[in-house]
Structure 1
Amino acid sequence: MDHLDIPEVVTTYEEAAEVVARMGMLPLAPLIPQHPSLNGLTKPENWHTGTELDPWSWRARFPGDGLAGYGKFMKKKALLVSKAWFPAYVAAAGSLRSLEERYDSGLCSKEALILLQIIRANEGIETRRLRTEAGMKAPEQKRSFDNAVIELQGSLDIVISGVKQRVNELGEASGWNSTSFETTGHWMEASGISPFAGERGEAITWLHEQMAAAGWSPAAAAWIDKALSW
């Protein structure tokens, strides 16, 4: 199906879900050449309104509903990957080695290792608590924390699993909503998504076939190959 068959304007979450399912990957902001983005398909006036038509709120609904994996999976940019494509994407783009092995080889940061160990023990932990548990609450540690969280998403060790309302000591809503994180394996299992049954090369081939079937342009497919070193 030609990707140009997708609607020029997406207004509802349900319409956005259809685009994600059809295209397989949908970045929040323009990222992939000749490829749609959620920002580009939706009306600017609907963003950050807190209504059902707010695309910013949809980013949490997708993983919550198990319809798409969500995180900064590519070039440190936010990306939705459909439920059908996600297992192959993890197999094709995720690290083949455990984080502990990568750390021992000097291939990941100490902060990433600390955060992943905490997330494993507290699936669905929200950002503020994660910083507290990691001992990284100081303002000067925020950059290291943010970089480690992005690192873990880029290696597909974790996903953004939703957004939680912050509460105070009395259990009352307090402040802005906070992003929550889960290990990729935990989110997939909870969402009824089975791992890809094949090697990395097979996963890449599968994704290329799906891109062609979805009407991806050659430029978009080539950009993905280069971005992910396929």
Structure 2
Amino acid sequence: MKSMEEQIRITTYEEAAEILAKVGVLPLAPLIPEHPSISGITKAENWHTGTELDPWAWRARFPGEGLAGYGKFIKKKAVLVTKEWFPVFVAASGSTLALEERYNNGLSSREALTLLKIIRANQGIDTRSLRAEAEMKAKEKKSLFDNAVTELQGSLDIVISGVKERHNAEGEKNGWNSTSFETASHWLKESGLSTYPGSREEAIQWLHTRMDGVWSPAAIAWINKALSW
């Protein structure tokens, strides 16, 4: 019997949106057993083509259009969480302590605290500007920066809000696009969503109810373990 990922083949962004709405959580690359991923259900030849059929470009469209929260939320891997699920996912998976409190308790890095303060003051800031503001442009600080950004996504403090094109002084596109970030609370507000009012336990139960009958038992067992549910 074929897995869900093997049964699904899509070509368009709209088809990806339908799958995401059905499963709630859709990784960019294979991550959850017996569960679809963007790369697993699309054609390899469409990737990095710069066309409307390029799945690599969809990762920016989903959060930009308010259809899904996007970031390295699970095991430091990039996933999309549908708009309907996202407030609940934050309550179920995000830290219950403010970052300042986690830092004071030795549970967070100084770099993460520095970056979050900058992102709060500059919602949608791109990677290059963020590194400059944090005085982390030096090569030897890149890993510290990358680790801090990943830490903030894993705790659901921030999301990837989109991708910005890099331009030269003449306004022409120049070089690779740059990832931009905003706080999860800001993305929720901009997307017309409210924070989930229930407890962590209630949020987990809500998600389990949505997963039942859609996710395989293996996929549910995996995410329970991965997120300590």
TM-score bin, normalised by smaller chain = over 0.9
Question: Normalised by the size of structure 2, how large is the TM-score?
Answer: 0.96
Unaligned runs of 5+ in 2: none
| Letter aligned with residue 31 of structure 1 | L
Counterpart in the other structure of 1:70: 70
Distance change (3 Å), C-alpha of 1:82 and 1:109: same
Counterpart in the other structure of 2:81: 81
Measured against aligned partners, the alpha-carbon deviations of 1:17-70 in whole angstroms (never above 9, x if no partner) come to 000011000001110011011110000000011110000000000000100000
Distance 1:87 1:97 in 2: 16
The correspondence of residues 86-105 of structure 1 with structure 2, limited to 5 A, is 86-105=86-105
- Alpha-carbon distance, 1:168 to partner: 2.8
| Letter aligned with residue 228 of structure 2 | S
Counterpart in the other structure of 1:116: 116
Unaligned runs of 5+ in 1: none
Distance 1:145 1:170 in 2: 29
| Letter aligned with residue 36 of structure 1 | P
Counterpart in the other structure of 1:58: 58
The correspondence of residues 167-178 of structure 1 with structure 2, limited to 5 A, is 167-178=167-178
Regions of 4+ moved over 4 Å: 3-7
Distance 2:135 2:64 in 1: 28
Given that 2:70 and 2:160 are in contact with CA atoms closer than 8 Å, whether structure 1 keeps it comes out as: yes
Counterpart in the other structure of 1:34: 34
Counterpart in the other structure of 2:181: 181
Distance 1:216 1:67 in 2: 20
Q: Secondary structure at the match of 1:40?
A: helix
Q: Secondary structure at the match of 2:91?
A: helix
- Alpha-carbon distance, 1:112 to partner: 0.3
Distance 1:148 1:4 in 2: 34
Q: Does 1:144 align with 2:144?
A: yes
| Letter aligned with residue 168 of structure 1 | N
Q: Secondary structure at the match of 1:36?
A: coil
Distance 2:111 2:5 in 1: 44
Identical amino acids, percent of aligned pairs: 69
| Letter aligned with residue 215 of structure 2 | W
Distance 2:169 2:141 in 1: 24
Distance 2:19 2:7 in 1: 8
Measured against aligned partners, the alpha-carbon deviations of 1:148-196 in whole angstroms (never above 9, x if no partner) come to 0000000000000000011234443221110000000001100111111
- Between 201-210 and 7-16, report the one with greater CA deviation: 7-16
Query: Greater relative contact order (Cα 8 A, min sep 6): structure 1 or 2?
Result: 1
Counterpart in the other structure of 1:209: 209
- Between 45-54 and 7-16, report the one with greater CA deviation: 7-16
Over aligned residues, Cα RMSD in angstroms?
Answer: 1.4
Counterpart in the other structure of 1:223: 222
Distance 1:43 1:37 in 2: 12
Question: Normalised by the size of structure 1, how large is the TM-score?
Answer: 0.96
Counterpart in the other structure of 1:18: 18
Given that 1:6 and 1:19 are in contact with CA atoms closer than 8 Å, whether structure 2 keeps it comes out as: no
Distance 1:161 1:139 in 2: 25
Distance 2:186 2:225 in 1: 29
Q: Does 1:49 align with 2:56?
A: no
